[in-house]
Amino acid sequence: MTPPPSPPTPTPRLTPTRPGSLALVVLVACVAAWALANRFYGDLPMFTWFPALTLALLAIFELIAARATRARIDRQEGAGPVEPLAVARFAALAKASSLGGALFVGLYAGLLLFLLSERERLAAAADDVPECTGGLIAAVLLVGAALWLERCCRIPDPPDDEES
């Protein structure tokens, strides 16, 4: 009697974020934001610092989470044990944040291109440049923090046989 076949080895379903996917999101959002600003800039509400601050705070949270997660996975002294479900949640947050951050990078870049091209003609456009620039910087920071958090959530390679 032959033993039953072993179940197939599960493959990871959460794959690393591809830079090409993020670049495509940035490009499409940039073109859309520029086109919409070109058509509807007078109807847009006044720009504020609130979205940029929100993106920056989320980036700071993800940087802190990445550092703590890496310390736990590497079993550094003083770091607590790894909670697999928390790491999986952080990985999902990182993927969503990198995509959302890329969307905001594109939106702010498109708006900034429009504002810089119209600042000589429209006084309001010149006034909106600082908030838009701050939002662009915060969105880029969010993408970077999210990609680092995603990298910190990876399972380390097993040790070599010679070392163990």
The model carries a pTM of: 0.85
Q: Rounded mean pLDDT of the chain? A: 89
Q: What is the pLDDT of residue 112?
A: 95
* Residue 94 pLDDT greater than 60, yes or no: yes
How many alpha carbons lie under 13 Å from residue 71 in its C-beta half-sphere? Answer: 11
CA distance 32 to 65: 33
Q: How far is CA 81 from CA 76, 115, 148, in A?
A: 10, 49, 20
How many Cα neighbours within 13 Å face the side chain of 95?
14
User: Tens digit of pLDDT for each residue in 155-164?
Assistant: 777 777 665 5
> For the CA atoms of the chain, what is the radius of gyration?
22
Given a cut of 60, is residue 154 above it in pLDDT?
Answer: yes
Average pLDDT rounded to a whole number, residues 92-110: 97
